[in-house]
Structure 1
Amino acid sequence: MASKPMTCAFALALSCTVSPMALAQEASATQTASQAAKTHETNADIVVTAQRREQSLLDVPLAVTALGSDSLAQRGITNSAQLGDAVPNLQINSPYGNTQPNFSLRGIGVANEYNSNQASPVGVYLDDVYLAPRTSHGMGLFDLDRIEVLRGPQGTLFGRNTTGGAINFITKKPDLSGTNGYLQAGYANFDTFTAQGAAEATVSEDKLGLRVAVNYAKGDGQVKNVFPGGRDAMSTDTLQGRVSMRAMPSEALAITLRAYAGRDRGTQAAVHGLGPFRTGLGFFEINENRVGTNRTDAWGFSANVALELSDTLSLTSITSYDGGSQNLQQAADGSPLDILDINWRSQYRQFSEELRANYSGNGVNFVGGLFYGWDRNITDNTFNLPLPPAGGFFQHYRQVRNSYAVFGQADIDVADKLVLTLGARYTHDTSRYDDAYAYLFVGEVGAAPFPIATTVPCTGVAGTCAYDPAARFALSDKNNALTGRVALSYTFDSGTLVYASYNRGYRAGAVNGGGYTSSAGIGYIKPERVNAYELGIKGRAGGRLLTYAASAFYYDYTNQQLQDTRAGPVSFLVNAPKSEVYGLELETTLRPVDGFRLDASVGLLHSKYKRLTLQGADLSGNSLPFAPRMTAQVGFEWDMLQVGGGTLSFAPNMAYSSRQYFSPFNAENAPGTAQVNSELQQGANAKVNATLSWSTDVITLRAFANNLFNRKTFGYGLDLRGAGFPYNFLVPSAPRTYGASIRYSF
């Protein structure tokens, strides 16, 4: 264990956060209602449910970032793919743009995996409901109460597939008093129109309320396509809606019902591919004959029923049923030639039930319960390749997973202000991959395929097994895991909290969804496991002048699940036997004067494969993909002056990332291949966003600019040279966007 780096890092955090500070000034008594709401979010204790019960953020012995709706607006964050600009050591990437984002926390993510059947090791939740399909994670952010990002394994209370952490999107619910809402409309460059709104009505005071919210955005592609008549890439076309009903038939019974639905029809992400067709193009330009559409749909329903049995004991049931689909048409060659055109299609269904008990009394806070989750993925992918004659591969399979768990965690007051936390979760996971078949076909892109050879099931070289329309392939797997948490925390008289913890995280074993050229490469691989050790401190200095949180951590990480693409092209899912990750995070908020708030955070990260060999190359010592050594965010919000009966505010922020690799190879190449893996990285960069707003109790006018200086960066890269293609796959991030909006609140 790298105890020395941890100790040094934690000492640095302490020296940064306990410096003497002057006392904060009191908030003005003449502030408007909108200012008061902003003050509540930034100055008052932020209440979170990171431990499945309500607590002040500063009382939770975990590394948690909480972002309220106002903070999201001031930072210009409108979808989940932008959260990396606000959370230390959080990276978000995808080969499909904002669709199917891959979250990586403290270096733990899906790495270079791009298939839809793989579970994210960072669990994503909507109102405490686990969302299994990664396509559902690319949600637009609207009418939210807050977002909680829990860094580190959450194998006790959240449990399923949370080796990296958990992200919980918490929507606004009726407050059972009065009528309120808002309407907002905006316009931005790329001819982008946005609109959203919410309306809440109280049917019976303190008894029954209803809230309806919608979100719409439509705009042209952000990356110009010079191909004659070609569509521009990265366009926007989304529509989402949500209905929430909250009822309290009695003081002891609370029922919240939520239904949502949404769709996305934007064009695919831009691709930098075949080199000769990049000549003369700008960074935000492509020459592509088949820019496709990312068609995604998501819907769901949940029921949260909470019953207080006594002053100390309550029961909560959370039931959900969700579904959706994706139909992604991806020209993956970045050229006017038909080198690699893919149609990714999947349909999803999932059900989950959690029954939880909360007890608080006699110096003990206990949370425990039962969980069951089921999800199904039916996939039909088509891969058009430059085969003589034109053709490719078609792939079909069904994956069904079940997860059963029992869990409990107790916070025990062992002495005055000293709390011992003990938690455990036992999980039983089953998975079945069946109705699987794939075949080699001939036919042009978009034409009806003509099968010529079965490739799944077939253990030989593609094209060597006669076509059999009845052939099917199936296999199954099961995993059992005991995960848990042990922590000791102490709260000083000043309110400062210090803690030390051990957490164990687990991600179930997985099957290779990318196996379509042969069944030889389709098999289950081992589960991931993380043993995480963490030291933390959080509190205030100078009254409310400075709020801070710091943590130092070390991970013993085994069996990370990686995609290994080889010549053929053949994809294998493999385990990286052993890795280590350690680092430091620091988050601070400074309020030196009334009407001014400075937010800053930094994440330092060291990640290393201690043992890994891919394609005959020893990659031991390489960094994990999507794990920059340093990330930092800094920004301020300044209420500059009162004018026209409102407040004029300026809120710029900067997000910095050091170099990150997109591949476990880093800059190395496998022996005997045509790989150029040095292309698969993004160098250090900083992006600046800013908003300027004028607000009253009723009206908010806001102008914004994201990526103000139009930094040219890549967000994702995949090795295709090693698979036999004459180029690598690189996806540029969004260019500068700017616009304005008006919001009316009632």
Structure 2
Amino acid sequence: MKIVRLGVLLAATTALSPAVALAQESAATPAAAESDDNGVGDIIVTANRREQSLLSVPIAISAVAGDALASKGITNSANLQDAVPNLQISSPYGNTQPNFSLRGISVANEYNSNQASPIGVYIDDVYMASRTSHGMGLFDLDRVEVLRGPQGTLFGRNTTGGAINFITRGPSLSGSNGYAEAGYGNFNTITAQAAVEATLIEDQLGLRIAGNYLKSDGLIDNVFPGGRDPNRQNTLQGRATLRFNPGGGPLDIKIKAYGGRDHGTQAAIHGLLTARTGLKFFEVNENRIGLNRTDAYGIAATISYELSPSLSFTSITSRDGGSQLIQQAADGAPIDILDVWWKSKYQQFSQEARFNYGADGLNLVGGFFYGWDRVVTDNDFAIGQALGPGVDGGFFQHYRQERRSYAVFAQGDYEIADGLTLTLGARYTWDRSKYRDGFAYLYAGYVDTAKTPIATTVPCAGQPGTCAYDPDARFASNGRDNALTGRVSLSYQFDAGPLVYASYNRGYRSGAFNGGSYTSSGGINYVDPERVNAYEFGAKGRLADNRLTYSAAAFYYDYSKQQLQDLRPGPVGILVNAPKSEVYGAELETNWRASDALTLNLAVGYLHATYKELVLQGADIAGNDLPFAPRWTAQAGADIRLFDTGDAKLTFSPNVAYFSRQFFSPLNEVNAPGTGQQNAELQQGSYAKVNATLALEIGRFTVKGFINNAFNRKTYAYGLDLRGAGFPYPFLVPAAPRTFGGSVRVTF
């Protein structure tokens, strides 16, 4: 059955490719791309830890250039779904702590900051362990590579769904260049970007410095008198990269340091239904719109040494850290029902060392990895007058989580016959986790007032609120996992024709502690790792005198033990494993350079992702769709050169992104017995959003206008049903309204 489904999907996908003009490479051509006079540029990617043409890599990859991100209106990692098929991005916190869902694999209904994303996120090959660090503004990038499917061999743990690698621009060691850009838009939005690169010693020493600034009023209007507007933006980021290639020899050293902060306001919440009376979709009535404060910083050193023409060594060392304080009014009401302050600090260190060998039809990469990360969490859950009339109260929660990961890996590509290549890869991972210094207590007071402890809830062997307050009580636990992951692939490159491939990949996401249990220590459990066995067929190539490129893939996943939250009476959130899920689908990406003045692009994804076995809140939901997994996604766009006089050029770049219906909860439309839930509200119907840019280039200057969500579509990005936790309302997060503006850019 697996092979039949894969064959049907691949046949349907590849049959479309000659007829459809689609997007991978006009939206994705990095600065390093090469092209002939008529064809589409060749994209160079590093998905196999070495430079290769995208069309020669037997993996489903979308590569989006930094300049193309801007033309599609993508300025933050949380908007990347507008350029990649079968990718969804959601968050209860706006652009902060985004949840990536790739081919249906995501964190599901889990929202705690201690959990690792099943989509590995990397910056210049450095794994970013904390999801707090994933909500980044995108600036001065060479490209973004999105690898769909498990990447457990060369990228490692926590890549059951895939990996996203953000690759920044670094010094080229030749000449000097730079740019500066300033813009203004509605909601009093001010933007500024700049980068400058200087070659201090030609071919040997160079420095590149880049920065990004964004500030705006709230994108949603708060009608509460004197209240803050939600979705206000205030971002400042900087990065400096020093590259040293002494004597132009075999040693190449790159040192990168960065820092940034985002100090906006919380995402808007549609909550208590009676508080929504008379309000428009992009309005709230909330007395406690809080602040979103995230900070990130780090330094990384990449050292490469060419030992011989066929053997090289690479070392990547990084140290990163940051913090978040999200003050979230979770009730969407002008009264105090539920206000949460999510507070955490994180640190991480990683070291990867690998060797690359290439000669006589064999390409081999192997090495080891070590990673350590720590998150310290202090959450405050204020529950209004739940303790009694006129008595405010809540829960305070603290814990420290540390994780260590060790791995050895190797992958080889061997040409066993002309055009026929066999790939074999394996990785063995040891993961060790600690939950320490855990405590929680019930208090009288509120998030911003003095608190009087009443009862210890963690650790507590009895029902919540029944254990006397003990300031010295602590909870601790350990977790450990070992995993073997790998890849087997067979690919064939036709002479001057397409690449076809078939592959098997095994992915793994390490076990996890429940970070959301604060009413009872009974909920602080460690759950099993996720695993996926993935089968994929694909084809890539060029048609029409190299003017059209295409990439098609069909896939089938045996997906087991997805980690998600189950709500138990108390209320106590328990982290559980979904025993078994089935995922299959297909994708097609193409790009057609119809003429010198017109390039068309299109990406289409089909996805069927369902639970085969799962019981949540006492409801059997086998057959339900996985959350954040729409059946259909599509992106289409064009670059239309309206005129080109040689001295001036005007280009119009419209694009549209379509998503079919998706659910926000594994329960879909099923209401758990005895809860009062109305889960049918927790979904977003099919929709399309249109973005466009108009750019006039005159010499070194570019004047650009843009519009995003041109038709002001009213959509939700996230949802929970808090009625299951005893609160009388749902929790829905609206996506951004229409934004527009312009900018001026000068290059030098």
> Residue 592 of structure 1: CA displacement?
1.2
SS across alignment from 1:309: strand
Q: Does 1:80 align with 2:77?
A: yes
> Residue 9 of structure 1: CA displacement?
1.2
| Per-residue Cα deviation, 1:194-222 (whole angstroms, up to 9, x for no partner) | 00100011100000000000000000000
Aligned counterparts of 1:422 and 1:7: Cα–Cα separation in 2: 23
Q: Does 1:365 align with 2:363?
A: yes
**AA at the equivalent of 1:71:** A
- For 1:323, which of 291, 303, 321 is the aligned residue? 321
SS across alignment from 2:260: strand
Residue in structure 1 matched with residue 179 of structure 2 by the alignment: 182
Residue in structure 1 matched with residue 188 of structure 2 by the alignment: 191
Question: Which residues of 2 match residues 635-650 of structure 1 at below 5 A?
Answer: 635-642=637-644, 645-650=647-652
Q: Is the 8 A contact 2:33 2:42 kept in 1?
A: no
Q: Is the 8 A contact 2:20 2:602 kept in 1?
A: no
> Residue 445 of structure 1: CA displacement?
3.6
- For 1:412, which of 406, 411, 414 is the aligned residue? 414
| Per-residue Cα deviation, 1:597-625 (whole angstroms, up to 9, x for no partner) | 10101000001100000111000000000
Residue in structure 2 matched with residue 238 of structure 1 by the alignment: 235
**AA at the equivalent of 2:212:** N
Q: Is the 8 A contact 1:460 1:520 kept in 2?
A: no
- For 2:378, which of 364, 380, 384 is the aligned residue? 380
Aligned counterparts of 2:74 and 2:311: Cα–Cα separation in 1: 38
Aligned counterparts of 2:544 and 2:36: Cα–Cα separation in 1: 17
Q: Is the 8 A contact 2:547 2:594 kept in 1?
A: yes
| Per-residue Cα deviation, 1:665-689 (whole angstroms, up to 9, x for no partner) | 0000011110100000000000000
Residue in structure 1 matched with residue 516 of structure 2 by the alignment: 514
| Per-residue Cα deviation, 1:368-420 (whole angstroms, up to 9, x for no partner) | 00000000000000000032221100000000000000000000111000000
Residue in structure 1 matched with residue 680 of structure 2 by the alignment: 678
> Residue 4 of structure 1: CA displacement?
2.6
**AA at the equivalent of 1:554:** Y
> Residue 8 of structure 1: CA displacement?
1.2
Residue in structure 2 matched with residue 9 of structure 1 by the alignment: 9
Q: Is the 8 A contact 1:20 1:541 kept in 2?
A: no
Residue in structure 2 matched with residue 578 of structure 1 by the alignment: 580
Could you say if the C-alpha distance between residues 171 and 41 of structure 1 is closer, same or farther in structure 2, counting changes exceeding 3 Å?
farther
Which moves more between the two structures, 36-45 or 414-423? 36-45
Aligned counterparts of 1:37 and 1:692: Cα–Cα separation in 2: 25
Aligned counterparts of 1:162 and 1:452: Cα–Cα separation in 2: 42
Aligned counterparts of 2:432 and 2:569: Cα–Cα separation in 1: 32
Aligned counterparts of 1:539 and 1:35: Cα–Cα separation in 2: 19
Could you say if the C-alpha distance between residues 378 and 411 of structure 1 is closer, same or farther in structure 2, counting changes exceeding 3 Å?
same
- For 2:124, which of 107, 123, 127 is the aligned residue? 127
> Residue 531 of structure 1: CA displacement?
0.2
Q: Is the 8 A contact 1:98 1:138 kept in 2?
A: yes
Residue in structure 2 matched with residue 402 of structure 1 by the alignment: 404
**AA at the equivalent of 1:54:** E
Q: Is the 8 A contact 1:565 1:720 kept in 2?
A: no
Q: Does 1:204 align with 2:201?
A: yes
> Residue 643 of structure 1: CA displacement?
5.3
Residue in structure 2 matched with residue 110 of structure 1 by the alignment: 107
Residue in structure 1 matched with residue 140 of structure 2 by the alignment: 143
> Residue 595 of structure 1: CA displacement?
2.0
> Residue 36 of structure 1: CA displacement?
11
Aligned counterparts of 1:249 and 1:669: Cα–Cα separation in 2: 66
SS across alignment from 2:246: strand
SS across alignment from 2:443: strand
- For 1:96, which of 89, 93, 96 is the aligned residue? 93
> Residue 37 of structure 1: CA displacement?
9.3
- For 2:55, which of 55, 58, 83 is the aligned residue? 58
Aligned counterparts of 2:450 and 2:415: Cα–Cα separation in 1: 68
Q: Is the 8 A contact 2:20 2:590 kept in 1?
A: no
Could you say if the C-alpha distance between residues 349 and 592 of structure 1 is closer, same or farther in structure 2, counting changes exceeding 3 Å?
same
Question: Which residues of 2 match residues 327-338 of structure 1 at below 5 A?
Answer: 327-338=325-336
Which moves more between the two structures, 717-726 or 118-127? 717-726
Query: How many residues matched?
Result: 735
- For 2:533, which of 531, 535, 549 is the aligned residue? 531
Aligned counterparts of 1:446 and 1:598: Cα–Cα separation in 2: 54
- For 2:266, which of 258, 265, 268 is the aligned residue? 268
Aligned counterparts of 2:346 and 2:653: Cα–Cα separation in 1: 40
TM-score relative to the length of structure 2: 0.97
Which moves more between the two structures, 6-15 or 395-404? 6-15
Aligned counterparts of 2:433 and 2:565: Cα–Cα separation in 1: 19
**AA at the equivalent of 1:355:** A
Could you say if the C-alpha distance between residues 458 and 422 of structure 1 is closer, same or farther in structure 2, counting changes exceeding 3 Å?
same
Q: Does 1:340 align with 2:338?
A: yes
SS across alignment from 1:227: coil
Aligned counterparts of 1:349 and 1:497: Cα–Cα separation in 2: 42
- For 2:163, which of 148, 161, 166 is the aligned residue? 166
**AA at the equivalent of 2:154:** L
> Residue 566 of structure 1: CA displacement?
3.9
Q: Which runs of 5+ in 2 are unaligned?
A: none
**AA at the equivalent of 1:684:** S
**AA at the equivalent of 2:9:** A
Aligned counterparts of 1:543 and 1:367: Cα–Cα separation in 2: 35
Residue in structure 1 matched with residue 653 of structure 2 by the alignment: 651
Residue in structure 1 matched with residue 627 of structure 2 by the alignment: 625
Q: Is the 8 A contact 1:76 1:690 kept in 2?
A: yes
Aligned counterparts of 1:20 and 1:140: Cα–Cα separation in 2: 32
Q: Does 1:226 align with 2:223?
A: yes
- For 2:702, which of 700, 703, 713 is the aligned residue? 700
**AA at the equivalent of 2:103:** R
SS across alignment from 1:592: strand
| Per-residue Cα deviation, 1:701-746 (whole angstroms, up to 9, x for no partner) | 1100000000000000012111111111100000000000000000
> Residue 39 of structure 1: CA displacement?
8.8
Aligned counterparts of 2:604 and 2:265: Cα–Cα separation in 1: 34
Could you say if the C-alpha distance between residues 38 and 44 of structure 1 is closer, same or farther in structure 2, counting changes exceeding 3 Å?
closer
Aligned counterparts of 1:503 and 1:685: Cα–Cα separation in 2: 33
Computed over aligned residues only, the root mean square deviation of the Cα atoms, in angstroms, reads 1.7
Could you say if the C-alpha distance between residues 42 and 524 of structure 1 is closer, same or farther in structure 2, counting changes exceeding 3 Å?
farther
**AA at the equivalent of 2:14:** L
Q: Is the 8 A contact 2:38 2:546 kept in 1?
A: no
**AA at the equivalent of 1:418:** L
> Residue 110 of structure 1: CA displacement?
0.5
> Residue 697 of structure 1: CA displacement?
3.7
Aligned counterparts of 1:102 and 1:40: Cα–Cα separation in 2: 41
> Residue 495 of structure 1: CA displacement?
3.1
SS across alignment from 1:254: strand
Residue in structure 2 matched with residue 616 of structure 1 by the alignment: 618
Aligned counterparts of 2:335 and 2:108: Cα–Cα separation in 1: 29
Aligned counterparts of 1:693 and 1:621: Cα–Cα separation in 2: 48
> Residue 15 of structure 1: CA displacement?
1.2
> Residue 462 of structure 1: CA displacement?
1.1
> Residue 359 of structure 1: CA displacement?
0.2
Residue in structure 2 matched with residue 475 of structure 1 by the alignment: 477
**AA at the equivalent of 1:392:** G
| Per-residue Cα deviation, 1:269-321 (whole angstroms, up to 9, x for no partner) | 00000000101000000000000010000000000000000000000000000
Aligned counterparts of 2:377 and 2:478: Cα–Cα separation in 1: 17
SS across alignment from 2:55: helix
Aligned counterparts of 2:698 and 2:66: Cα–Cα separation in 1: 17
